[in-house]
Amino acid sequence: MIQFSSINPNSTFAELLELERKEFALYQHHDFLDYQKQRLAFLEKHLDSASVKALHDYVKANRPKIAVFAGSFSPFHKGHYNVLQKAEKLFDKVIIAFGKNPAKDVHTWPVPKTISNRQITSYNSLLTDHIESFGYDVTVVRGLRNSTDFQYEQNQYRYIQELKPDIKIINIFCDKEFEHISSSGIRTLEKYNKHQNYLLD
C-alpha cells in the first residue's frame, strides 16, 4: 500500500499538479497501473474540493511517457547507468528489465542499490512478450557503446519489428568515458578481483 502525502484541499490545481509529479517520481518502483489505481482511490476521498477533483481527472486520463531499458545486465554497470540517466531525461519513467540471455553466463549479480528505487522486472521470454505484459504503451531503450553495438542492435531490431510491428525503440549512446565498459569484460576482470571500479554501489 502506497502512503501518499496528505493533501490540502485549499491548494490550487497548479500546486496539486506539482505535488503529483513529486509523488509519481517518489514511487517509481511501483508499476504505473498499480500507482494509478491507488492514487485515484486516495484522491476520491477528497473530491469535495474542485482542485482535487481536477487532479483526479488528470491522473485518470494521464498517460506518462514510459520506457523499458532492457538487457541482460550481467552485471548492471556504470555504462548502463549512464544510459539510464539519459533515458530518464527523455521519459517520465524508465523500467529496468533484466532479461535472461541463453547465450550468456547464468551467473547472477545483485541489483545495485543505486537503481533499487526504480521499477525492476525480469523476464526469460522474448522481449516483445515481456513488454506486452505491461498493459500500456512503452518505448524500448537500448544502450550503445559504439558502431559495432549499433550494427548488432539494428539486426535485432529487424527481428523484433517482425514480431511486433508497432514497437517503438530508441538507441542511446553512452558517454565516451564509458564506451569501453562491457559486462563480459567485467566478468573477466572478476576472476582477478579487478572489476569493482566498473560496478555501481
Encode pLDDT of 141-154 as tens digits: 999 988 778 787 78
For residue 119, being part of any structural domain is answered with: yes
CA-based nearest residue to 199, from 77, 42, 29: 77
Q: What is the end-to-end Cα distance of the chain in Å, rounded? A: 28
Note if the bond before 9 is cis, omega within 30 degrees.
no
* Residues 19 and 49 placed together within one structural domain of the fold: yes
Give this prediction's pTM: 0.91
* Residues 187 and 166 placed together within one structural domain of the fold: yes
pLDDT of residue 16 exceeding 70, the answer is yes
* Residues 41 and 140 placed together within one structural domain of the fold: no
Q: What pLDDT digit, counting tens, does each position of 139-196 carry?
A: 999 999 887 787 877 878 888 888 888 999 999 999 999 999 888 899 999 899 989 8
Residue 46 belongs to what domain range? 13-61
Q: Where are the beta strands (DSSP E) in 82-186?
A: 93-99, 120-123, 139-144, 168-173
Residue type, 91: F
All cell numbers assigned to 25: 517520481
Q: What pLDDT digit, counting tens, does each position of 46-98 carry?
A: 999 999 999 999 999 999 999 999 998 989 999 999 999 999 999 999 999 99
pLDDT for 183: 87
Distance CA 53, CA 46 (A): 8
